Chains A and B, each alone.
Chain A
Amino acid sequence: MVNSVTNLGRNGLADWLVQRVSGVVLLAYMLVVGFYLLCSGSDLSYEQWSGYFDSTFMRVFSTAAVLSIVSHAWIGLWSVSTDYLTERLMGGRATVLRLAFQAASAVVLFTYLVWGIQILWS
């Protein structure tokens, strides 16, 4: 068994499952919002748009979508970093580069998370 401390869940299965579930949530979210945009046509006012996101349902759904984006992106970026930024491909400096890349991704995603929740719930 190959252990790792930087992946999201405890094991490979957890990551895989989170990746699938978050993918489904994001697809559903895009469909729901896309459908609303289609139905309301071109004359959508700011009040209508912000009112749409004010309902508790949309707040909860949007929060789920933000959480999904963050976890989906982390698992994806973590996979990319462990595929390409490896000692096998680039020698000793790979560890530093990989950690830097993962840290940068974490900072960006954490910012999105806090910022998204702040927008939705303030």
Chain B
Amino acid sequence: MLKVSLYRYNPEVDQEPYMQEVELDTGGKDLMVLDVLELLKGSDPSLAYRRSCREGVCGSDGMNINGKNGLACVTPISEALKNGKGGNKLVLRPLPGLPVIRDLVIDMSLFYKQYEKIKPFLLNDTPAPAIERLQSPEERAKLDGLYECILCACCSTACPSFWWNPDRFIGPSGLLQAYRFLADSRDTATEERLSDLDDPFSVFRCHGIQNCVNVCPKGLNPTKAIGHIRNMLLSRAT
């Protein structure tokens, strides 16, 4: 039997959040954490969480699994238990730092607001060519390790700087995307993008703690992207 500890909170009924202890027969299989949730929801339909693709593509089931943020659908129980906190028990909590709507579902508005701020689309003031804007293979290669982000928010909600200033610090996810457009050869708005970022909070609240790198389920490195942005700001100003 697998012991599971679940964060439960339904603001319409509960005064405050509590941890619910349940047990589940996994039939000895090393299920994914999402499978565990699906089985539990079978017996208690009031359990709330987000999920869609169940294969690490949509980014909707980010949660805190035994103390570490990750996607439930691609985290096997065995790996979750290795995270340390909880011993032999699976401990599931919502992503930290943002308001909880219900159970494992958080309000991501601030996260998306930061994403919106960096203008996540190509800006180009030159006349559009007849078919498409071309890139050389080298130019395209610069986007590797950046475009793969699925906006699951595992990184930003693991970042202390984002916990303290989610309204002013863009956060690792948004900054990775900011660099994705700064690095794109088809984008001509580099100057505006950089001047939008050059304040004491948007980029410079990053203290290089690297929690973000540690949790990204896609293996991306926001800290490195933030370093690139800082260097761009530096070479523009000196």
Contact = CB atoms under 8 A, between A and B. Distances in A.
A4 B234 contact: no
Interface residues of B, number: 21
B51 interface: no
Contacts of B234: 13, 17
A83 interface: yes
A11 interface: yes
Nearest to B233: A13
B23 interface: no
Contact of A13 (B161, B196, B204, B205): B204
B164 A84 contact: yes
A89 B166 CA distance: 11
Given A13-B237, A16-B230, A83-B165, A1 B204 contact: no
Given A16-B204, A17-B234, A11 B198 contact: yes
Interface in A1-42: 1-4, 7, 11-17
Interface string B174-217: 00000000000000000000011111111111000000000000
Contacts of A79: 205
A13 B198 contact: yes
Given A83-B164, A89-B164, A15 B202 contact: no
A58 B1 CA distance: 71
Contacts, number: 55
A92 B165 CA distance: 16
Interface string B149-172: 000000000000100111110000
B201 A2 contact: yes
A82 B166 CA distance: 12
A93 interface: no
Chain A interface, DSSP helix/strand/loop, else mixed = helix
Given A1-B198, A17-B234, A12 B204 contact: yes
Nearest to B164: A83
A2 B168 contact: yes
B203 to A, nearest CB: 6
A122 to B, nearest CB: 36
B93 to A, nearest CB: 20
Contact of B199 (A12, A17, A88, A89): A12
A12 B195 contact: no
A2 B233 contact: no
A22 to B, nearest CB: 15
Contacts of A12: 197-204, 233
Contacts of A1: 195-199, 202
17 contacts: A1-B195, A1-B197, A4-B199, A11-B200, A12-B202, A13-B198, A13-B204, A13-B230, A13-B233, A13-B234, A13-B237, A14-B237, A15-B204, A16-B204, A82-B200, A84-B164, A86-B165
Interface of A: 1-4, 7, 11-17, 79, 82-84, 86, 88-89
Given A2-B202, A88-B167, 13 more contacts: A1-B199, A1-B202, A2-B199, A2-B200, A3-B199, A11-B198, A12-B197, A12-B203, A13-B204, A17-B234, A83-B164, A86-B164, A88-B164
Interface of B: 161, 164-168, 195-205, 230, 233-234, 237
